[in-house]
Amino acid sequence: MKDATFDDFIDRLRSESDLVSIVSDYVSLKKKGKNYWGCCPFHQEKTPSFSVTPDKGFFYCFGCQTGGNVFNFLMKVENITFFEAVKLLAKKLNIPLPEKEKTPREQARDREIAILYQVNELARDFFYACLTKTNYGKPAREYLASRGVSAEIIDFFKLGFAPPSWDKLSITFRERGIALDILLKSGLSVARNSGDGIYDRFRNRIMFPISDARGRVIGFGGRVLDNTHPKYLNSPETEIFNKRHVLYGFDNAYKHIRESGQVVIVEGYMDVITLYSQGIKNAVASLGTAFTPEQARSLIKLNAELLFSYDSDAAGQNATVRALHTVRSLGATVKVVSVPDGKDPDEFVRKHGSSAFQDLLKTAQPLLDYQLDRALKSDDYSTVQGKIAVVGKLAPILAEADNAVEVNAHITRLSQILTVDESALRSEITKYIVQAKKDKIVKSGKTINIALLYKQPAPAVVQAERQLIRLMCDDPSLIPYVLAKLSPDEIQGGLQQEIINFLFNAYNMEKNITQATINAGINRLSENARSEFSHIMLIDIQFDDRVKFVDDCIKTIRLAHLTALYEQHRLTADELERMGDSNFLQELAESQRIKHEISKLHH
């Protein structure tokens, strides 16, 4: 169907759907006032903090800050894409789904992708049969039995075996009529260098089918039975397989991650399989590669605590540090599980049992504790030089931490461990912060980034931004009035700025903007912004004079922005003057101009 037709269809689904009825299929709701409340399906809680606003068509959880419209709810609760949510909602409402018009090229690509899924599923069944029903698989069956993998687990994970023959799979599949180019594009077969024929990519290996979040087979990992290299071999990148986005076992672990609010991240296929067989079903692995931001985001969406349990040898610890560096900036709650005796989770569980591993999960270290303990173990701090080396490693870790209370507690503890005065530790941390800011901020007279001056907007500013957004959504005729008086750059909250940009852009594209237009467009926002939008739509606002109230909100926002801008130029002027740069006069003049503007706003 045409894009306009599709948009109309989406609007029809949204307008005809009863959000309370849809959510009630998953959550027990009770009406309180205008809204309905229940326990959030996206995180564990005993006191209901999940709210549905039927007249606005939004849900929001005050516990995990998840929100959105009916499509967003279905996407999160079913772990599906937007278009899959559209199909599901259409089915629930018994509304026929119109066909989208596609170009011949798009149709050909869709057919090819469907065939790739089918071929991978056939390959899974082929490898499984070779493992369980042929003499080829006997050594692999014996190996798996020695690792404690039962026939039931083999069947559950559909483990398999690739026969040692060079082209057993390729010949079998060609005889079934599967095209040569499909075998090559799936990564199951490889073209010979001579250009004459193909051979199997996987030979004489235990095979681990890799599935996407919906359980569709998209690739494979193969492990040798001897000491040949490479020990593990993965499918290459294909139209349906990108290892940066995939976590092994995620399709099985998904509901258990939701239920527990935790995900155990391990290094290998066998770690996942062994933990699952022992009742620890919320574990995933990162396909033998470095943990990626894409993998992190797929877990963060579940509002789960990330517990890293990599091997405890040097390589595993280094992999843990790299993984922690990946997730640090994404806002995840991270802990580290230390497995004793230099073992991986698979070995530990087989030796000590699942209860012992559960105890390790309960004592997992918060990220900062793990980093500090690792720094303390890196040098002998009984000597002066050792103390200097350790403090040099600790200072940047503590300087980058967000929680001041936590940092203070660690400084006190470290002072006792290192027998170093607390004030000396604080001095070193302060030096690091000052130097880091100098390196990043003031280079050749560059100005300080205003974003660094306020990590979190003041509560009054956030309230004003939220109220202004709510007023514009309730009465879109206010949008041009606000647009004439306020720039999106003056909004301090990142999510609020994204929403206001969306409203201004929507108005610029369609002057007669309506509430329906706004509600239809929120899927263009980021997930966090959609949640914030849902939160804003639950706000109750009371005022006597709408225009005066809007002006007061604008004034609060502008004053906060100008105050931060004044600090930016004042600090830059001070720094340039210390550096002997005459440009400080320009910065000083600009700071005075802004100060005058602030004074005018006050009066």
pLDDT in tens, 191-223: 988 777 899 999 999 999 999 988 999 999 999
CA-based end-to-end distance of the chain: 57
Q: Is the pLDDT of residue 454 over 60?
A: no
Instruction: Retrieve residue 49's tokens.
Output: 């903090």
Asked if the model's pLDDT at residue 96 lies above 50, the reply is: yes
> Over 80: is that where the pLDDT of 471 sits?
yes
SS3 per-residue string spanning 195-240: CCCEEECCCCEEEEEEECCCCCEEEEEEEECCCCCCCEEECCCCCC
State whether residue 160 is helix, strand or coil: strand
- Give the residue, 347 or 325, on which the prediction is more confident: 347
Contact 257/282 with Cβ under 8 angstroms? Answer: yes
Q: How confident is the model at residue 4 (pLDDT cuts 50, 70, 90)?
A: low
Cα separation, 307 vs 200, whole angstroms: 37
Query: Where are the alpha helices (H) located in 329-458, listed in sequence order?
Result: 345-352, 354-362, 367-378, 384-400, 404-418, 422-441
pLDDT at 578: 73
pLDDT of residue 439: 52
CATH class of 3-92: alpha beta
Residue 376 three-state SS: helix
Q: How would residue 544 be classed by pLDDT, with cut points 50, 70 and 90?
A: confident
Give the residue among 58, 117, 20 at the shortest CA–CA distance from 529: 58
Give the range among 218-227, 497-506, 593-602 with minimum mean pLDDT. 593-602
Residue 448 has pLDDT above 50, yes or no: no
Are 589 and 566 contacting, i.e. CB atoms less than 8 angstroms apart? no
**Helical pair 584-602 and 546-578, crossing angle rounded to 10 deg:** 160
- 249 dihedral zone (left: phi>0; alpha: psi -120 to 50; beta): left
pLDDT at 436: 58
Measured distance CA(536)–CA(7) in Å, rounded:
25
- Please give the radius of gyration of the chain, using alpha carbons only, rounded to the nearest integer: 29
Residues 108-118, mean pLDDT to the nearest whole number: 93
Q: What is the mean pLDDT of residues 28-48?
A: 88
Does the predicted model carry a pTM greater than 0.75? Answer: no
Q: For position 419, what pLDDT does the model report? A: 87
* Mean pLDDT, rounded, for 462-484: 90
Question: The domain 111-234 belongs to what CATH superfamily?
Answer: DNA primase, catalytic core, N-terminal domain (3.90.980.10)
Q: Of 531, 464, 474, whose CA–CA distance to 503 is shortest?
A: 474
For the stretch 336-353, pLDDT in tens is 898 887 678 999 999 899
Helix axes 293-300, 314-328, angle to 10 degrees: 70
Domain residue ranges of the chain, discontinuous segments joined by +: 3-92, 111-234, 250-361, 371-441, 459-602
What's the whole-number average pLDDT of the chain?
A: 85
DSSP assignment letter at 337: -
**Predicted local confidence at residue 453, as pLDDT:** 39
What's the mean pLDDT in 78-90?
87
Cβ proximity of 507 and 433 under 8 Å: no
Q: According to the model, what pLDDT value does residue 395 have?
A: 82
- Cα–Cα nearest to 139, from 159, 161, 154: 161
Residue 355's contacts (CB-CB under 8 Å, 6 or more residues apart) are: none
For range 429-438, the mean pLDDT: 64
The percent of residues above 90 in pLDDT, for the chain, comes to 34
Dihedral sign for Cα atoms in the order 283, 287, 289, 292: negative
How many CB atoms are located within 10 Å of the residue 212 CB?
A: 17
**Top-confidence residue, 279 or 3:** 279
Cβ(239)–Cβ(228) below 8 Å = no
Q: Does 541 score more than 70 pLDDT?
A: yes
What is the CATH topology of the domain spanning 459-602? DNAb Helicase; Chain A (1.10.860)
Confidence of residue 513 (pLDDT cuts 50, 70, 90): confident
- Better-predicted residue by pLDDT, 157 or 513: 157
Residue 313 pLDDT: 67
**Which of these, 558, 549, 591, lies nearest to 487 by C-alpha position?**
558
Distance CA 229, CA 405 (A): 49
The topology (CATH level 3) of 250-361 is Dna Topoisomerase Vi A Subunit; Chain: A, domain 2 (3.40.1360)
Tell me how crowded residue 303 is: count the other CB atoms within 10 A of its CB: 21
Q: What is the mean pLDDT of residues 423-438?
A: 70
Query: CA 86, 87, 88 angle in degrees (round to 5)?
Result: 90
Burial 425-450 (b: 16+ CB within 10 A, else e): bbebbeebeeeeeeeeebeeeebbee
pLDDT at 597 (0 to 100):
83
Q: b vs e for 512-531, b when ≥16 Cβ sit within 10 Å of the residue's Cβ? A: ebeeeebbbbbbebebebbb
- By three-state DSSP, how is residue 35 classified? strand
Partners of residue 248 on adjacent β-strands: 285
